[in-house]
Amino acid sequence: MVDFVSSNKPSLVRRPLPSDWLAAHYPGILIAIMAGICAEAISSHYGAPSMLMALLIGLSIHFIYDLDTARPGIEWVGRSILRLGVALLGLKIAVADIISIGFAPLVLVAFAMVATMLFAVAGARLLGLSRSFAALSGGAVAVCGASAAAAVSSVLPQDEESERSLTVVIAVVTLMATIAMIFYPLLVVALGLTPQDMGVILGGTIHDVAQVVAAGKAISPKVGELATFVKLMRVALLLPIVMMVFLWLGRGHGTGSVPRSKVQYIPGFLIAFLVFAAFNSAGLVAEQVQSLGSDLSHYFLIFAITAIGVKTNLKTVLEVGWRPLALIVAETLVMLFIVLGGVLLLH
C-alpha cells in the first residue's frame, strides 16, 4: 500500500539558528580565550613576549584539538578573530606622525622592507623551502613580526603546511626580536649616533612593536618615540604587502576550491584596515577609541595565535630542520645591514 500523504509532503530543512552555531563553537572559543588570557598574564608578570607565550601555551594543549566539541571554535578563532585583530591594527596608523620622521629615512626603511621580501623569496628557493614560507618569514621580518606573519597567513591557502610554517615563523621571529631588543641598543650607542638615527635603526629593523618600544626607551624617551613612529610606518605598509602576497599566493593560486582563473577579491579585513588607518590619520578617531581598538587588536591576535598553536602538532614543527631558522636569521641581518648602512651613508 502506497502512503500518498508522506510521498507528496515536501521535505523541510531547518535552517541553522545562531544558538546552534554558538553551541558548536563556544567550547573551542572559551579554550582559546582562557589560554590567551593566561599567556598575557605570564607576559605581563615576567616580561616575556606575549605572542610567544600564546603560541607555546597553544602548542602545549594541542591534544584538545582532537576533541570534536572543541575543534570548530578553535578553527573559528584562528581564522575570523585573527582577521579582526589585523583589521584593528589600522587604528595605530597616523600618517602625520610617520611623515614627521623625514623623507630620506622613510625611503630607506621602505627599500629595506622590499629588499628583505625579495631576499626571502630567493633564499627560500635556494634552501628548498616553500613560497608560502618565504611570504610568511619575509613579511614577519619586514613588517611587524608575529602580527604580520598572522596577517600574511590569513590570505594564504589554509593547510597543514601553512599552519606549521606559521608556527615556526612566529617562534623564530619572536626569538630574533628579543635578541635584537637586547643587542641593537648597545650597537647604536656604541656607534655614537644621533637620537633620530638611533630611532630610525631600531624602528626600522626590530621585528615586533613591543620590542621596538622597549629597545628605544632603554636609551631615552625621545629615541623610544622616534623608533615607534618608524615602526608604525612599517606597520602602515602591512596592507600593500599582504595584498601582494594575496595576489601572488592567495587562495585562488593554491590547491583549494577557488579556481586559478577566478578574479580574486580584496579581503574585507584588509579594506577595514585601510579604512581605520584613513579615519585615524584624518583625526576622526577619538583617543579613547584608538586606545580601545589597539587593545582589542592585541588581545584578538593573542587569542588567534593561541588557537593556531592548539591546531599545530609540535612534532611536525620540530621536523622542519635548520633551513627555516637560517632563512629568518639571514633576513634579519639583511634588514639590519641595509638600514644601518643607509643611515651611516646619509651622514
2 in a domain, yes or no?
Answer: no
Residue 16 lies in a domain: no
pLDDT tens per residue across all 347 residues of the chain: 444 444 455 545 556 667 788 888 999 999 999 999 999 999 888 877 787 788 889 889 989 988 989 999 998 998 889 888 878 888 877 777 777 778 888 899 999 999 999 999 999 999 999 888 999 999 999 998 888 888 888 888 777 777 788 888 888 887 788 788 878 988 999 999 998 899 999 999 998 776 787 788 778 878 877 887 888 788 888 888 888 888 887 654 444 433 333 334 556 777 888 889 889 888 898 989 989 998 998 899 889 888 888 887 777 666 667 899 899 999 999 999 999 999 999 87
- Cα–chain-centroid distance for residue 25? 24
Q: Residue 73: its pLDDT value, please?
A: 94
d(CA 328, CA 314): 19
Sequence-distant contacts of 125-128: CB under 8 A, at least 24 apart: 127/323, 127/326, 127/327, 128/323
The DSSP annotation for 263-323 comes to: PPPPPHHHHHHHHHHHHHHTT-S-HHHHHHHHHHHHHHHHHHHHHHHHHS-HHHHHTT-SH
Please give the model's pTM, rounded to 2 decimal places: 0.69
Report if residue 1 sits inside a domain.
no
Q: Is residue 6 part of a domain?
A: no
Residue 8 lies in a domain: no
Which three three-digit cell numbers place residue 83?
582577521
Whether residue 331 lies inside any domain: the answer is: yes
Q: Do 197 and 203 meet the contact criterion of CB atoms below 8 Å apart?
A: no
Which DSSP string corresponds to 215-254?
Answer: HHHHH-HHHHHHHHHHHHHHHHTHHHHHHHHHHHHSGGGS
In a domain, 112, yes or no: yes
C-alpha to C-alpha distance for 213 and 153, rounded to whole angstroms:
25
Has residue 17 been placed in a domain?
no
pLDDT of residue 106: 87
Helix (H, G, I), strand (E, B) or coil at 81: helix
Helical H runs in the chain?
Answer: 4-8, 18-46, 50-60, 71-76, 82-88, 95-99, 103-127, 131-139, 145-153, 160-190, 195-205, 209-219, 221-236, 238-249, 268-281, 287-311, 314-318, 323-346
C-alpha cell at 190: 656604541
Domain count, the chain: 1
Distance CA(267)–CA(39), nearest Å, equals: 29
CB-based contact 332:112 (threshold 8 Å): no
User: How far, in Å, CA of 47 to CA of 41, rounded?
Assistant: 10
Dihedral angle over CA of 186, 178, 169, 152, nearest 10: -80
Residues 6+ apart with CB under 8 A from 327: 120, 123, 124, 127, 129, 133, 134, 137
Domain span at 321: 22-346
CA atoms within 13 A on the CB side of 192: 1
CA distance 274 to 265: 15
- pLDDT for the residue 122: 95
Which one-letter DSSP state was computed for residue 93? -
Is the torsion defined by CA of 211, 165, 323, 148 positive or negative? negative
